[in-house]
Structure 1
């Protein structure tokens, strides 16, 4: 009984000792596992700490880069605003330059038109302005281009004095002055072509009527015809001689209606000065036309016309041609004002504001 108890106690003790050893082994395993896990956690923590540090550095770098990008973006925005302002300023300056150039060219053309009395400088300036605006193609200048077109059509419709043509006609008149016949100089009167034959026929009839009757009776009796032929030749010679004498006699006397008696009393040596004075009048008119003094030119042209009518032979064809040229110059030499391009100037002023 005692041995069984002791054996039982010993078995229980062995069992307890085995359980204690087993527990000790399990506890060691648990401690090892804890140490291993602790080491693993420590390494993971270190790794996490390193990663966190790297992430912090990266975030700091990223923040610095973002700040730098923000600064660069702000600079780019400022530069863009400055560039836009510069572009607008350049466009505005370019428009102002175009407007200024067009206005200056128009004012110079207006001065030239005032001096020369011609619309060609203003027409050329408006055409150049239209071509320049067409190449420029700026919407805010379309109103200026329309105004240029209106002024160009209005100025083209005005007929101005062609001074060059008038001066050429005056030069032609001056050239013809020396060939014009004066009333004081007798001009040969041309008889009609049928006058001489008519006079000769009349003289022949007269001579035939005065032929003696003896010759007729002799011819009737059959006498030779030499006396008849001699009488006919003498009649023809007498007719020719009498015609020449009559023409010379008519040339000695001329009947002409003269409204101004002083024109017929001009001495031959005064004819030269008369022609020169007439040329001076015409040259004064030419200078007045070139200087756009049309009233002065009209006065000189009227004086020249009066001198032609008073001192020169109105029956001359050359005088008729000269007077016609002078009348053409008189009719065309009038003051014509060149219109101002007011629409274009107003449009340019509106754009420049």
Structure 2
């Protein structure tokens, strides 16, 4: 392998000569160009801002128009909704009125049906059966009135009316019923029944008198209204004598000696007298309620409690206290524990007559 011949040495490169530099513009022309460029940029910026403002204003105008249209649509929808709601209310009222009319007609039809059924039943009964049913209904109603009022007069009146109707009927098979009515009438007349209306009126009178009752530790009215005073100086006496007599008289009024058998009555303060009277009124009202509830034992116990309170805390020497105590004793005597009369024998005879025996 033969070796290559050595390369020739490189020739020195010849650089081109630099071009001569352009002459620099003067400083005044450079400042003018810079000012023009700045002015042009500001003009472009102002134009862009104006254009964006115009576009934004147009967009705001479009949004306002859209909002106005939406507001108008909402107002129209609200008006339409109110109109529909008003129509719905009118329809609901009409429906309610029609329902009321229908219910009224339905109740009338039901009443007519009931009356028709009663008429059919009454036509299916015989004359005697109708008489027995009417007498039984009247007696049961009178029994309820007697229990409510505490008076035997409604029951006696019903028995008399029943006897008169049976007498006009003149049916031999109802003779046993007339005998039972006569027996119950005599038994009711001889029974002792509490006169509840009279007792209630008397209790109301006692309650009205409670506010005027003097308590046991009250100063007697006669001590405050004595006409001539003891040891009063004559009108022509000296001033110091009249002054002395007035002072002595006032000093005598500061001390009062009286006898009170109940020590609790002495401890009652003047402002507690109101509550004492109200408590007595409540006891009397309890008596009234017990009489209305036909609880004669409780009424007698309440009357005894009211009498004990009257004798314990009020002045026994007062005429008003004595009058109220007398009335309470009369109420206690009139409250009886006898049961209200019943017409069991008549009801049994009616059941036998209704059975056709």
Give me the whole-angstrom Cα distance separating, in 1, the residues matched to 2:275 and 2:131. 60
Higher mean alpha-carbon deviation, 327-336 vs 167-176, is at 327-336
Distance, in Å, in 2 between the alignment partners of 1:105 and 1:170 is 32
Moved more, 126-135 or 115-124: 115-124
Q: TM-score, normalised by structure 1?
A: 0.56
Structure 1 residues 137, 256: CA separation in 2 closer, same or farther (over 3 Å shift)?
A: same
Tell me the equivalent position of 2:32: none
CA RMSD of superposed structures (Å)? 3.4
d(CA) in 2 for partners of 1:253 and 1:339? 60
Of the three residues 175, 186, 196, the one matched with 1:142 is 175
**Structure 2 equivalent of residue 264 of structure 1:** 266
Q: 1:288 aligns with which of 280, 287, 290?
A: 290
Distance 1:124 1:135, change over 3 A: same
Answer 1 or 2: higher relative contact order, Cα 8 Å, separation at least 6: 1
Q: Identify the match of residue 302 of structure 2 among 288, 293, 300.
A: 300
- CA offset digits 1:302-323 (Å, max 9, x no partner): 2211111111111110111111
Q: 1:262 to 1:338 in 2, by over 3 A?
A: closer
Aligned counterparts of 2:235 and 2:266: Cα–Cα separation in 1:
45
* Unmatched 5+ stretches in structure 2: 1-122
The whole-number CA distance in structure 2 between the counterparts of 1:146 and 1:183 is 60
Question: Per residue, is there more helix in 1 or in 2?
Answer: 1
Higher mean C-alpha displacement, 153-162 vs 143-152: 143-152
- What's 1:8 paired with? none
Gaps of 5+ in 1: 1-89, 204-231
The answer to whether the Cα contact below 8 Å between 2:166 and 2:178 also exists between their aligned partners in 1 is yes
Q: 2: CA distance between counterparts of 1:340 and 1:266?
A: 49
- Give the superposition deviation at 1:330: 1.4
CA 1:349–1:255 in structure 2 vs 1: closer, same or farther (change >3 Å)?
A: same
Q: Are 1:117 and 1:337, in contact at CA under 8 Å, matched by a contact in 2?
A: no
User: Taking structure 1 as reference, are residues 132 and 239 closer, same or farther at Cα in structure 2, changes over 3 Å only?
Assistant: farther
Q: Hey, what's the Cα distance between the residues in 1 that align with 2:144 and 2:128?
A: 24
Q: Distance in 1 between matches of 2:248 and 2:170?
A: 88
**Residue correspondence of structure 1 range 1-353 to structure 2 within 5 A:** 93-189=126-222, 250-351=252-353, 352-353=356-357
Q: Please state how far the C-alpha of 1:177 moved relative to its aligned partner.
A: 0.9
Does the aligned pair in 2 maintain the 1:285–1:296 contact within 8 Å?
Answer: yes
Q: What SS does the corresponding residue of 1:179 show, helix, strand or coil? A: coil
Contact 1:116 1:292 in 2 (8 A): no
Mapped to 2, the partners of 1:243 and 1:120 lie a distance apart of: 69
Pairwise CA distance, 1:142 = 2.6
How far apart are the structure 2 equivalents of 1:155 and 1:239? 79
Aligned residue-pair number:
233
Shift of 1:106: 2.1
